Structure 1
Amino acid sequence: MSKSTSKKPQRKPSQAQPPVAEAPVIAKPTTRIVAIVYDGMLILALLFLVGTALTVIGTLMTMETGTESSQAQSLPTWYQNVVMTPSFILTLVGFYGIFWRRGGQTLGMQTWRLKTVNNAGHLLTWGQSFRRILAASLMPLLFGIIGSLIGGSRTIMLTSAFLGLIFNYVFCLFNRRGLAVQDMLSNSITLKMPKQQHEGLWRGLKNRKRHKKSQ
């Protein structure tokens, strides 16, 4: 009698499961403040250039230039309020607006893998960017006004405005979702992106251009 040979079922080679992709999380206040410090240096340089150019233009348009330091004059108040202050605001709005519109992140935010989007997860529009900047300026402005009423000096006013800026992010510690003041008032959010999903600002711009060409 021939022995019946039973065939053992062959095991399929186990396929390695791909790692679970991390999800973006709401950025912590400390990381956001560090990114602001990075961007602040670039913003100060831009404001300095704009202020220098406007000062030269304003001096040529509104004042007689002397030859000695004792003849130096201050720019007229109307020029400072009507020309210089709006120009500084437009510079700030343009800086954040261009970066947020193009890739959702400034240079400082890119360093720390931060990205600002609206509540639907899309890049901000110009209107949403402007509302977010206004919302971020609300508490510093309010604190600055209170400081000027209490102390009256410029130093106290600027210190109070800085405390208002810090308050925007201290608020994250008391909010259940970890949102800052400007997040809530502008219906937008700043996320910490995972490493595998973070493509960077310039690569994101290139990918957007390629996507537009392919359409």
Structure 2
Amino acid sequence: MNHLKDQIRHSSNNPVAGLTRRLAAMIYDSFLLFSIWIALGAFIISPIRFSIYGLPEGNDSWSGFPFIIQILLTCLIVVTLAGYYFICWRKQGQSLGMKAWRLKLQSTNGELASPKQCIQRSIIAPFCLGFLGLGYLWCLISSSRGCLHDQITDTEVILIAKEK
């Protein structure tokens, strides 16, 4: 654990992560998140559907749900996404994809991101990706090489040196 804290404290020696590594880590994380969402559908959403509304008719499995339930289930999926990143970032500053690509999220002061920063990132980052990725492309023109949501939340994603 001390090794992890040393890497966080001496982050000024670590470069800010580039766009390619960030996107690769997101793709890696998406495989895990899709698996979680499949399990969520199999063990929570489908049993609710079958117990309340019976077997679906036709190809549209959402058609049997009232609109309010559709919204609640969509919120459940979004909360699952945000919760995954929040837990990973607060625990050690890395999601599974970030570990694989040797990336770490931290506050600009070198400490792990605060709960407030993690929540802000969870809200802002999807919008940065959603608007044609402009928030992520921001790192190509920014002097700090940080994405837009990094700068808004006062965080940075750094590249960790390989362990020998």
**TM-score, structure 1 as length reference:** 0.63
1:115-126 alignment runs, 5 A limit: 115-126=104-115
User: What is the aligned counterpart of 2:118 among 126, 129, 147?
Assistant: 129
Find the structure with the greater CA-based Rg.
1
The superposition leaves residues 93-116 of structure 1 with CA deviations (integer Å, 9 ceiling, x where unpaired) of 111111111111111111111000
Extract structure 1 runs of 4+ deviating beyond 6 A. none
Match of residue 98 from structure 2: 109
Give the aligned partner of residue 24 of structure 1.
14
Other-structure match for 2:134:
167
Match of 2:121, SS state, is: helix
Q: Secondary structure in 2 aligned to 1:137? A: helix
Query: How many positions carry a matched residue from both structures?
Result: 150
Please give the alpha-carbon distance, in whole angstroms, between the structure 2 residues aligned to 1:119 and 1:23. 13
What secondary structure, in the 3-state scheme, does the structure 1 residue paired with 2:80 have? helix
Alignment RMSD: 2.3
Q: Provide structure 1 residue ranges, at least 5 long, that are not aligned to the other structure.
A: 1-21, 144-162, 198-215
* Alpha-carbon distance, 1:67 to partner: 8.8
**In structure 2, C-alpha distance between the alignment counterparts of 1:78 and 1:139, rounded to whole Å:** 27
Measure the CA separation in 1 of the matches of 2:30 and 2:57. 35
Give 1:140 deviation, angstroms.
4.2
Query: Which structure's relative contact order is higher, taking Cα pairs within 8 Å and 6+ residues apart?
Result: 2
1:57 to 48, 67, 85: 48
Identical-residue share of aligned pairs (%): 27
Q: Deviations over 1:147-178 (max 9, x none)?
A: xxxxxxxxxxxxxxxx3xx3232111111111
What TM-score, normalized to structure 2? 0.81
CA contact (8 A) 1:59 1:75 kept: no
CA deviations 1:165-212 (Å, max 9, x no partner) are x32321111111111011011111100011249xxxxxxxxxxxxxxx
Q: Which amino acid aligns with 1:94?
A: G
Matched, 1:100 2:67: no
In structure 2, the gaps of 5 or more residues are 1-11
Alignment of 1:79 onto 2:46: no
Contact persistence 1:26–1:189 (CA under 8 A): yes
Counterpart-to-counterpart distance in 2, 1:68 and 1:135: 38
